[in-house]
């Protein structure tokens, strides 16, 4: 049985003071959650949030990392730096990283391998744009991204990863894939993982949905057999909204 996992991607939001306020409000609201919960603040708030969530049921994640251990990579953050602060998971390959910062499948693959070598959980994002969906390319795009991300990763490591399916056209737009649309793509991903590995590995990997999940639609989405949680954007910035999804 896969345990649902809801992670909040704060993106470029929240100062340290604002992060403190949000986490302090969130902790009592999700303390009895039966699922895994994580928050992914911006780098500048990670240390602050790490101190607040220590001893709680909230995991700490980062929004990106570099695959090299150290070196002349101005502006980058290494996995060891994240681990030292207290992160145990990290989002990689988010559509905004792909769109604005030239993130590639090859780069995502390198980051996934480096994260697992350090003992952190990669949350690997995949998803199609509106143009690609309208051109009936959804399956081809998502399959290509998953294949690229998992290239050379053995089954025992793959089973520890998390995938977040995010239809790019539903991120921050207020549009949401219907539960049926989301389930359809999640099933495609699960079937691909079975082909790449085996049934047991495919069934072990959790596939989150990301794309305007809210308290009002979370239960319906999470009821689908291949949707194992959510990677939450806008709703993660309000304690009550994020808790509402977690408790759904």
**Average pLDDT for 143-166:** 97
Residue 207: the pLDDT is 98
Calculate the CA dihedral of residues 128, 142, 246, 248 and round it to 10 degrees. 90
Residue 228: the pLDDT is 97
The mean-pLDDT minimum among 128-137, 169-178, 180-189 falls in: 169-178
Residue 31: the pLDDT is 96
- Whether the predicted pLDDT of 174 surpasses 80: no
Q: Is 186 one of the catalytic residues? A: no
> How do residues 178-220 score in pLDDT, each as one tens digit?
999 999 999 999 999 999 999 999 999 999 999 889 999 999 9
Residue 62: the pLDDT is 98
Residue 104: the pLDDT is 97
Mean pLDDT, rounded, of the chain? 95
Catalytic residue among 36, 96, 166, 186: 166
Residue 95: the pLDDT is 93
- Whether the predicted pLDDT of 172 surpasses 80: no
Distances (CA, A) of 111 to 79, 165, 170: 9, 18, 25
- Which residues are paired to 90 by β-bridges? 62, 122
At residue 130, φ and ψ (nearest 5 deg) are -60, -40
Confidence label for 65 from pLDDT (cuts 50, 70 and 90): very high
> What pTM was computed for the model?
0.96
Residue 177: the pLDDT is 82
Q: Positive or negative CA dihedral for 129, 236, 68, 157?
A: negative
Q: Is 94 one of the catalytic residues? A: yes
Q: Are 214 and 242 in contact, with CB atoms under 8 Å apart?
A: no
Q: Which domains does the chain have, with CATH numbers?
A: 5-246 (3.20.20.70)
Catalytic residue among 36, 66, 94, 128: 94
At residue 6, φ and ψ (nearest 5 deg) are -115, 125
Percentage of residues in the chain with pLDDT exceeding 70? 100
């Amino acid at each position: 049985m896969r345990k649902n996992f809801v992670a909040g991607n704060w993106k470029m939001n929240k100062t340290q003071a604002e992060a403190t306020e949000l986490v302090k409000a969130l902790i009592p609201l999700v303390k009895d959650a039966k699922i895994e919960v994580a928050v992914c603040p911006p780098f500048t708030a990670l240390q602050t949030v790490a101190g607040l969530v220590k001893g709680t049921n909230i995991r700490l994640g980062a929004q990106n990392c570099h695959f090299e251990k150290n070196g002349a990579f101005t502006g980058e953050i290494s996995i060891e730096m994240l681990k030292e602060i207290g992160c145990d998971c990290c989002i990689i390959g988010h559509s905004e990283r792909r769109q604005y910062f030239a993130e590639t499948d090859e780069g995502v693959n390198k980051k996934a391998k480096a994260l697992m070598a350090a003992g952190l959980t990669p949350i690997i994002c995949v998803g199609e744009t509106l143009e690609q969906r309208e051109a009936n390319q959804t399956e081809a795009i998502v399959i290509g991204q998953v294949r690229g991300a998992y290239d050379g990763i053995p089954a025992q490591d793959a089973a520890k990863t998390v995938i977040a399916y995010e239809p790019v056209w539903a991120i921050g737009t207020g549009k949401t894939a219907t539960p049926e649309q989301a389930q359809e793509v999640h099933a495609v991903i699960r079937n691909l993982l079975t082909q790449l590995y085996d049934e047991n590995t495919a069934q072990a990997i959790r596939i989150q949905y990301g794309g305007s999940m809210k308290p009002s639609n979370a239960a319906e989405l999470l009821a689908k057999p291949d949707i194992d949680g959510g990677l939450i954007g806008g709703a993660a910035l309000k304690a009550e909204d994020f808790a509402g999804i977690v408790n759904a």
